[in-house]
Amino acid sequence: MKKIALFTSGGDAPGMNACIRSVVRTCIYHKIEVVGIMRGYEGMIDGEFISLNSKSVANIIQRGGTMLKTARSERFHTSEGRKQAYNNLKAYNIDGIIAIGGDGTFTGASIFNKEYDIPFIGIPGTIDNDLYGTDYTLGYDTALNTVIEAVDKIRDTASSHNRLFFIEVMGKDAGFIALRSGIAVGAEAVLIPETKTYIDTLIKKLQAGRRKSKTSGIVIVAEGDDAGGAYEVAKKVKEKFNHYDTRVSVLGHLQRGGSPSAKDRVLASQLGHAAVLNLIDEKTNLMIGLVNNNITSTPFDKAIKHNKSIKKELLNLVDILSI
């Protein structure tokens, strides 16, 4: 293993820069040349390769986003696009690749590896925390803390005006951000894609809170909830229960940005280091993760296809603590 390339792909996540730093400096330690690919698979097709050294990654551990940029690539879905990407990798004498991203990134890597024998190791970088084979993905902890900080501020104004706030957080297919942030902010209810939402049940819970003289309320809604986003849920509730002054707040891409937390920085450093070691050991098509505080590896197919399950005890905890 003489030259390793790395790239970030899909949605950006806090901690990606810390991971890039870890990969680059681990490669240098093992006397391996390292190359960054700009804009993910798009840059791989366009030949946007840059040499990286220790100085290249100085002063980035605290920065959100990704210095290598990221992009979606429709061309990589075609055999012609992947062929061009392969030609560029061979021209740069790349022996192995580290991909930082989510399920789409790993799906592309798995397909590419089957067509062209270049080893891939993946690092889970997504705020959704929805990949099987790791307890936490890069960016998840930071995103949680961003949501908590925002909702705490909203709670202040909700209490001042006797308002009921429906707050939408990211989570198109997974409710991990919604569930844990809901517990952390003391939400009256949490609505997530993994469970069916019954508006009448939600209204009964809000009515019970009003009878106990609650003067405000917070309902956390994952964007992929089956009853709709926060605006739709708020509309349905208000039609039958208009005792509160109702407001909606969509946190949106605020959750993606910001300086990574200590937990994300340490996790990124661990996973980046382990990814390089796996390539040195001639491993391929594996996602590096952290399970029970131990570094683990999971085949791409398993990490993508085995849905990570929500802990039911956390759902029950929301109900218990909202009385």
Indicate whether 305 pLDDT > 80. Answer: no
- 306 has pLDDT over 80: no
Residue where the block lists tokens 């949605």: 11
- Same domain? For 225 and 176 the reply is yes
Over residues 152-198, the pLDDT tens digits come to: 999 888 777 778 899 999 999 899 999 999 999 999 999 999 999 99
Closest CA to 202 of 226, 169, 173: 226
The phi and psi torsions of 93 (rounded to 5 degrees) equal 55, 45
In whole angstroms, what is the distance from residue 14 CA to residue 124 CA? 12
Is residue 320 included in any domain, yes or no?
Answer: no
Residue 125 pLDDT level (bands cut at 50, 70, 90): very high
Q: Based on the domain organization, do 132 and 163 belong to the same domain?
A: no
Cα 186 → chain centroid: 23
Question: Which of the given ranges, 12-16, 102-106, 318-322, has the highest pLDDT on average?
Answer: 12-16
Same domain, 87 and 102: yes
With tokens 């190359």, the residue in question is 35
pLDDT at residue 245 in the model: 82
CB of 9 closer than 8 Å to CB of 104: yes
Q: Would you put residue 131 in left (φ > 0), alpha (ψ -120 to 50) or beta?
A: beta
Query: CA-CA distance, 179 to 183, in Å (whole number)?
Result: 6
Distance CA 250, CA 152 (A): 14
The pTM of the whole model exceeds 0.75:
yes
**Nearest partner of 169 among 90, 110, 249, 288, judged by Cα:** 249
My answer on whether 229 and 96 are in the same domain is no
Which residue type sits at 4?
I
- Angstrom CA distances, 139 to 61, 73, 261, stand at 13, 22, 8
Taking only the tens place, the pLDDT of each residue in 263-300 is: 999 999 999 999 999 999 999 999 999 999 999 999 99
Highest mean pLDDT among 16-30, 196-210, 309-323: 16-30
Select from 12, 151, 6, 143 the least CA-distant residue to 69: 12
pLDDT of 212 over the 80 cut: no
Q: Are residues 51 and 200 in the same domain?
A: no
Is the backbone of residue 214 left (phi > 0), alpha (psi -120 to 50) or beta?
Answer: beta
Average pLDDT, the chain: 92
- CATH code for the domain in which residue 16 is found: 3.40.50.450
Mean pLDDT over residues 298-323, rounded? Answer: 87
Cβ–Cβ under 8 Å, residues 136 and 180: no
In this predicted model, which residue has the larger pLDDT, 217 or 111? 111
User: How far apart are the C-alpha atoms of 41 and 76, rounded to whole Å?
Assistant: 6
Q: Looking at residue 157, what is its pLDDT?
A: 83
Same domain, 272 and 126: yes
169 and 245: one domain? yes
Section 41-63 average pLDDT: 96
Same domain membership, residue 38 and residue 95 = yes
Does the pLDDT of residue 46 top 80, yes or no?
A: yes
Catalytic residue among 103, 128, 130, 141: 128
**Span of 15-29, 92-106, 127-141, 214-228 with lowest mean pLDDT:** 214-228
Q: Do residue 125 and residue 197 come from a single domain?
A: no
Domain count, the chain: 2
Strands 33-37 and 49-52: antiparallel
**pLDDT at res. 209:** 65
Residue 89 located in a structural domain: yes
* The pLDDT value given to residue 138: 97
Position 55 pLDDT exceeds 70? yes
Going by the DSSP 8-state scheme, the letter that residue 309 receives in this structure is P
Question: φ and ψ at 247, to 5 degrees?
Answer: -135, 155
Burial of 239 (0-12, 13-18, 19+ CB in 10 A): exposed
- Residues above pLDDT 90, as percent of the chain: 78
Asked if residues 114 and 106 have their Cβ atoms less than 8 Å apart, the reply is no
> How far apart are the C-alpha atoms of 181 and 145, rounded to whole Å?
8
State yes or no: is 173 an active-site residue.
Answer: no
Task: State the residue range of the domain holding 147.
Answer: 140-256
Q: Are residues 97 and 153 in the same domain?
A: no
**Average pLDDT score over residue span 31-35:** 97
Q: How many residues does the chain have?
A: 323
Q: What's the pLDDT band for 93 if we cut at 50, 70, 90?
A: very high
**The two structure tokens encoding residue 226:** 């089956």
Residue-level pLDDT at 47: 96
User: Does 134 score more than 70 pLDDT?
Assistant: yes
User: For the chain, percent helix, then strand, then coil, each to nearest 5?
Assistant: 45, 20, 35
pLDDT digits (tens, 9 = 90+) for 220-251: 999 999 998 999 999 998 888 777 788 999 99
For the domain that residue 240 is a member of, what is the CATH number? 3.40.50.460
Q: 247 burial class (0-12, 13-18, 19+ CB within 10 angstroms)?
A: middle
For residue 210, what pLDDT is reported? 62
Q: Residue 319: inside a domain, yes or no?
A: no
